[in-house]
Amino acid sequence: MRLLLVLLLAGTALQARAQPALESAIEAEKAGDWTKAIGLLEPLVSSDPGNLDAAARLAKLYSWSKRYPESEALYRRILAARPDHGDAASGLADVLSWSRPREENAELLRSPVAPPKVELAYGSERYNRMGPGYSWRMDAVVPVRRGWSFLAGAERLRRFHNTDQSQSLGAAWRGPTHGGYMRLSVAPRAAVLPRWNWEGSWGRSLIPGLHAEGSARVSEYAPTHVYTQSAALYFWPRPYAELGARLSATTTQFRGGAALLRWGYLLSSNLHARGETFRFSPSFGRYEEPFEAGSGSLNSFTASVYHLGLGMKPFDSLELKLDGEYEDRSGGTFVRRLQVSTAYRF
C-alpha cells in the first residue's frame, strides 16, 4: 500500500512538472520558435514516454523543421503504443509524403492515415415572427494521401414551413503552413437552402502567430444569384488564445433586377483551457441582407449576431460542442439558435 502511494505521488509530481513545460512549448510553437519548443518537449517526452500527446506535438515540430527521420521514428513509436492515435497516423502519412516523392516511396501507399472523422449536429431556431425551425447536419472527412482529404455531407432544414435537404461533396488539402478546401452542395428543389452552392477557401501562415485566409462562394437561390468574397486574419497572442477578424462583401443579383452589394464583418476568438481539452468561443458579427430565403419577402434587413460556443474533448477521438446564437435584426425581429454537435474520429 505504501509503495502504491509513493508511485501515485511520484506520478502526480511528474504531471505537475510536465504541465508548465508543455504550456511553454505550446507558446513557443505559436510564436514560431520551433527550436525552443523542441528543446522544451524533448526532455519532457524522454522523462515521460507515456505522454503520447506531447510526443505527437514533438514529432510534428520535427517534421515542420524537416527533421523527417526523427519525426517518422517518433510517430511510429506512438502508433505502436496506441494504433488509433489519429494525429500520429495523419502526421506519419504527411511526413512520408513530404520527405520522399511518391514514385520513390512505395510504403506511402500502405502507410496509415488519420481515421475518418464524422460530425453530427442538431440545431433548433426560433424567429419571433415566423415560429420555430430545426436543422440537422452530418459531415464526414476521410483522409487519403499526401495531405488530401475527401469531404461529404448532408443537411436537412425546416424553416418557414419549408423542409429542404441538400448533399455535398468536396476535397481539402493541408500542408505544414497552408491549406484549403473546395465543396459543392446541391438541393435542386430547395426553397430556403441554395439550389446549388460552391465554396472554397485557402489559408496560409504569413509570419509566426499570424494566419491569413481568403474564401469565395457562389450560390443559386430560388430568386437570386449570390456571390460572396471574404478575407480574414487570425492572430495567436498566447498559446491558449486565437483572435480572428473577417471582412466579407456579398453581391446579390436578383433575376431581372439590379445587383446589390452588402458588407459584413465577424470578430471571433477561441480560448483554450487545460491545453486543448476545453474551448470557449465568443464572437460578434454584423451583416446586411436584401432578402430572407424562403420567407416570401424581399425586404432587406441589418443584423447583429452574438455567438457563444463551448467545446470539450474528453478523449482524443471525441469532441462535444454546444453553440448558442442570438441575431438581433432591424425592424424589431430576432432569431435564437441553439446547436448541439459531436465529432468522432474512428
Q: Does residue 88 or residue 139 have the better pLDDT?
A: 139
Q: Which strand (E) or helix (H) includes residue 246?
A: strand 241-254
Q: At what angle do helices 86-99 and 52-64 cross, to 10 degrees?
A: 20
Percent above pLDDT 70 for the chain: 84
Question: For residue 74, is pLDDT > 70?
Answer: yes
Chain region(s) in the chain for CATH 2.40.160.40: 117-345
Give this prediction's pTM.
0.72
- CATH label, 117-345, candidates 2.102.10.10, 3.30.1370.110, 2.40.160.40, 2.120.10.30: 2.40.160.40
pLDDT in tens, 30-43: 777 888 888 888 88
Chain region(s) in the chain for CATH 1.25.40.10: 2-109
pLDDT in tens, 161-208: 889 999 999 999 876 667 889 999 999 888 889 999 999 999 887 876
The DSSP symbol for 98 reads: H
Q: Is 173 left (phi over 0), alpha (psi -120 to 50) or beta?
A: beta
pLDDT of residue 85: 77
Residue 44 in grid coordinates: 519532457
The CATH topology of domain 2-109 is: 1.25.40
d(C-alpha 211, C-alpha 232), whole Å: 8
- Parallel/antiparallel/unpaired status of strands 210-220 and 259-273: unpaired
Residues for the chain: how many in total? Answer: 346
